[in-house]
Structure 1
Amino acid sequence: MPSNNKKLTLMLGFSLVSLLASGSALAGLQAFQNNSSDNYSCGYKNDKGQTVVAAKYEGCGNFSEELARVSIIKPIMKDGYEDGIYLQGYINETGKLVIPIKYEAPLFDGVIIDYRDFHQGLLAVYKNGKYGYMNKSERLTIPYQYDTAGDFNDGLAVVSRNEKYGVIDKNGKTVVPFKFDGLDDYSEGLAKYRVGDWGDAAKFGFIDKSGKVAIQPKWDEAMEFSEGLAAVKVGGYETGKWGVIDKSGKQIVAPKYDRAYIEPMGDAVEVDGGRYVDGKLEVYNLNKAGAGAYMDYGSITRYILNRQGKIIEQKNFADWNEIEKVRHPEYYE
């Protein structure tokens, strides 16, 4: 149920790489994959490598608020054909199943499964095409009534109904009216909103927690705020340029970079990068020299910017795979 260009804990279908998440060090349990069978399965081991939860699930999530999602695919018949629905439950830090595996994770676009974790004591749950919220005692605290539902953050969640987005508090009270064409989750007190339908006509700005416009919708694309800054874009997909603004909307970096993130690869559903981490942001320019019939660039220059927008490192790469190997060496071991 993505509200805009951002996933809300979404995962792709049958790939165990996507379904198998690393466990929390705080929980002392880590998910592991059973490689001894043709059927994918996963469970959890403790920090001594001992199996605590047998490999009997088809998806094993991270621990969030002392609970970890576990999931199965339940076979069903639909329109005379074999199909399946994705069900999720939750284990505690001892590996005990404390919330039964009966809550549906809906499938979107045929490939995206909306798996969820608890946030601020509440979980977005789905039934008969609508979302509500329940607590850890399985009590439905906010009824099923929303078409989409985000996770709670700072006591607020972005939800939608009748193709308009608004914001509710943990009591289900509407605190920002349902008037936005698109609205992402809050990050550092601001939420990105969309004016207009998807496409070249759409513009993005930011609202505060009261729903007041903090930054006018003049950007053609934008990332959420991180460390007080946000990457924003002027222009279309192919020719637009990225820069950086602060929370007042002041331009920190003029739009001059081709990319501010790496497009999803393989089973990924979210862009890689586009946010400041430890005071640094990676941006990219596509070099046309050497471009061929099947590639619109010959090489890629990666720039690392500091919070003032100054380039502190610059390096050329042959392609995106080379960059990913540097960003995520653990995937290529």
Structure 2
Amino acid sequence: MKRNLNKIFLLTLLAACFSVVSDRFPTALASDTHNTTHEAKPKPAEVPTHQNSNNQNNSALVPIQENEKYGYADRTGKIIIPPQFDEARKFSDGLGMVRIKNKYGYVAETGQIVIGLKFDDALEFNEGLAAVKIGNKWGYIDKTGKVVIPPQYDEAKHFSEGLGLVGLDGKTASHGHAANSQQPTRKYGYIDRNGKVVIPINLAHAFTFSEGLVQVIIDENPDIPNSGKYGYMDRTGKIVITPQFGCADPFSEGLARVSINNKNGYIDKTGEFVIPPQFDVAASFSGGLAEVRLGDKSGYIDKTGKFVENPHQQE
């Protein structure tokens, strides 16, 4: 049991903070203490599809690999779509994103290619739309393959709760003293399904909405690592929980994991602590429980902060 729980925690550590849209910075947990002055900030990374809502990824087919080609099998292992693709991702909204050479398209569960392999990059469908890259710009298509939001963004991610996360490059900014350290400053914002900007594209970082709120970072000094503080804003762009945390997760089951002084606790949607910051490592709630570690003890807590299993000593 101890070994299994420790393995679970290793997996939890990989996703314990949360996802951001940029690929410019390395990952770190709120519990990391490699920086004694500032709390560790999470790694901006692609929005994971496991956050998709409404069970849109409950396909009976899963990607498989055979002889360096990808196809799909059912959950008994029976091959349904023979391996023929150079890449295949799990089904979402009834379609699987596939790639042959450097072109992307979408396949139905019958194996029929229903949206031709013509895009330069693509993401899985979510909420009926998928971000695709045409040339060097991103836009969105519907499930018929029709472009519904023209390619105009330098970055685009999944729609979540009716809002799509997009990014645009601005003027170049200097980082450091090297002559070749100039790089574009990318800003993020949110659009609705019609392509209308709902939250202006002026955020330095952006996250996906969950339960009506999304993390926001303010007072970040680019010359001081991990100096930003995390709070939350609503779907209108209004900050409803003042940025004050060293790290913060999306809301899940009404609570969000946040950190202060490298200790993790849980707040409600008013920003009040329901479970005080005390844990060295903590994950989001799922099924009424959250996995935590406190010193050499680990286990699961309920929404009152009470351990529901006896904490286990680590080996």
Normalised-by-shorter TM-score class: 0.7 to 0.9
In 1, the alpha carbon distance for the partners of 2:57 and 2:118 equals: 27
Match of 2:160 in 1: 153
1:256 paired with 2:278, answer yes
Match of 2:244 in 1: 218
Does the 8 Å CA contact 1:181/1:193 hold for their aligned counterparts? no
The equivalences for 1:42-81 within 5 A come to 42-46=70-74, 50-72=78-100, 74=101
Does the 8 Å CA contact 2:190/2:198 hold for their aligned counterparts? yes
In 2, the alpha carbon distance for the partners of 1:159 and 1:250 equals: 30
Q: 1:25 to 1:102 in 2, by over 3 A?
A: closer
Match of 1:91 in 2: 107
The equivalences for 1:1-333 within 5 A come to 2-3=21-22, 5-9=43-47, 27-34=59-66, 37=67, 40-46=68-74, 50-72=78-100, 74=101, 86-105=102-121, 116-161=123-168, 162=170, 163-195=186-218, 196-197=220-221, 199-235=225-261, 240-260=262-282, 274-286=283-295, 300-313=296-309, 314-318=311-315
**Any idea what the Cα deviations from partners look like across 1:14-55, whole Å, max 9, x if unmatched?**
xxxxxxxxxx99544333332xx4xx2221234675533211
Q: 1:208 to 1:8 in 2, by over 3 A?
A: same
Match of 2:27 in 1: none
SS of the residue aligned with 2:308?
Answer: strand
> How many Å apart are 1:243 and its aligned residue?
1.0
In 2, the alpha carbon distance for the partners of 1:10 and 1:102 equals: 23
* Counterpart AA for 2:64: F
Give 5+ residue unaligned stretches, structure 2: 1-19, 23-41, 50-55, 171-185
Does the 8 Å CA contact 1:181/1:197 hold for their aligned counterparts? no
> How many Å apart are 1:61 and its aligned residue?
1.7
> How many Å apart are 1:165 and its aligned residue?
2.0
> How many Å apart are 1:233 and its aligned residue?
0.8
Match of 2:183 in 1: none
Match of 1:321 in 2: none
In 1, the alpha carbon distance for the partners of 2:115 and 2:292 equals: 43
* Counterpart AA for 1:220: G
Tell me the TM-score normalised to structure 1 length. 0.69
Does the 8 Å CA contact 1:9/1:116 hold for their aligned counterparts? no
Aligned residues between the structures = 251
* Counterpart AA for 1:127: I
Q: Which moved further from structure 2: 49-58 or 217-226? A: 49-58
* Counterpart AA for 1:100: G
In 2, the alpha carbon distance for the partners of 1:128 and 1:302 equals: 49
* Counterpart AA for 1:230: A
Q: 1:257 to 1:57 in 2, by over 3 A?
A: same
In 2, the alpha carbon distance for the partners of 1:138 and 1:47 equals: 28
Q: 1:27 to 1:182 in 2, by over 3 A?
A: closer
Q: 1:219 to 1:50 in 2, by over 3 A?
A: closer
What RMSD in Å do the two structures reach over aligned CA positions?
A: 2.4
Does the 8 Å CA contact 1:60/1:71 hold for their aligned counterparts? yes
Q: 1:57 to 1:218 in 2, by over 3 A?
A: same
In 2, the alpha carbon distance for the partners of 1:141 and 1:307 equals: 42
> How many Å apart are 1:99 and its aligned residue?
1.4
